[in-house]
Chains A and B, each alone.
Chain A
């Protein structure tokens, strides 16, 4: 019962924040709405017993990426952009495309609801050391090579970001 109430609260926060992000005029307001949306998604992670990802979402997304976004918003002067048109000339087409995708998803969902049977959620097995330790075991033992490749990707991204943003190399 309480779980359901919390789910709807966090889901409403996530969806409302996302809607405000794509509709607000000022980019700073968009960023703040996106922070609210990410916070709602973080709450959902906590409800799904993903405590480590909850912390990562708060620290990395809200604390890292969104601050980077806000820095860039301060760097590029958006006063002029806020006064202009906010939507494409062909925004109706874009809306129709997204609505078509949504209608297709809903149609498949309604048609396939009988055949698509998700297995009922099993009780989470209590793991020794909690979520963080068991996640570390999976990440560093079974997925070590992808982990190292991800660190390589981050290195390339650091170099690429500096190369792009610097005036003269």
Chain B
């Protein structure tokens, strides 16, 4: 018999998703995959917020999740615009070859 699902299950799942996203950001070279990892992390945050909203039976958590989604959309739009400008100038999407500002 399986144990019923509690809020702790959702918190553990959210932590796992966060760690996968962090691994993606720290190890991959492709900028597009980096931005996808950021989306994974923002999704982990949303799972956390909505799990607590359900636990406390309040809607504020869901409202904050809407704002997080809003920020994620803005980030994706501007980030992909920057990526296109970058590709036009440097002809690469690998982060370790983009080292113009590196000392």
Closest residue to B97 on the A side, CB-wise?
A84
Give the residues in chain A near B82, CB-CB below 8 Å: 164
Q: Check A22–B35 contact: CB distance below 8 A.
A: no
Contact with A along B61-88 (1 / 0, CB 8 A): 0110111011111111110111111011
Q: Is the CB of B73 within 8 A of A85?
A: no
Query: A residues within 8 A CB of B25?
Result: 94
Check A3 against B4 for contact (C-beta < 8 Å). yes
Count residues on chain A whose CB falls below 8 Å from chain B CBs. Answer: 85
Say yes or no: B66 contacts A37, CB within 8 Å.
no
Residues of A within 8 A of B6 (CB): 118, 121
Q: Do A50 and B33 have beta carbons less than 8 Å apart?
A: no
Q: Are A163 and B5 in contact (CB under 8 A)?
A: no
Interface residue total, chain B, C-beta cutoff 8 A: 74
- Kindly list chain A residues whose C-beta atoms are within 8 Å of the C-beta of B70: 150, 153-154
Q: Does A160 contact B (CB under 8 A)?
A: yes
Which residue on chain B has the smallest CB distance to residue A25? Answer: B30
A157 contact from B17, B29, B74, B92, Cβ within 8 A: B74
Contact B28 A87 (CB under 8 A): yes
Interface residues of B in 23-75 (CB under 8 A from A): 23-30, 32-33, 35-37, 39-40, 43, 46-47, 50-51, 53-57, 59-60, 62-63, 65-67, 69-75
Across the interface, which residues of B come within 8 angstroms of A102, CB to CB? 15, 19
B83 contacts across to A, CB distance below 8 A: 72, 76
Whether the pair B29, A52 counts as a contact (CB closer than 8 A) is: no
- Chain B's nearest CB lies how many Å from the CB of A71? 8
What are 10 pairs between A and B in contact, CB < 8 Å? A3-B5, A18-B20, A18-B40, A53-B46, A53-B66, A85-B29, A88-B26, A105-B15, A135-B59, A154-B73
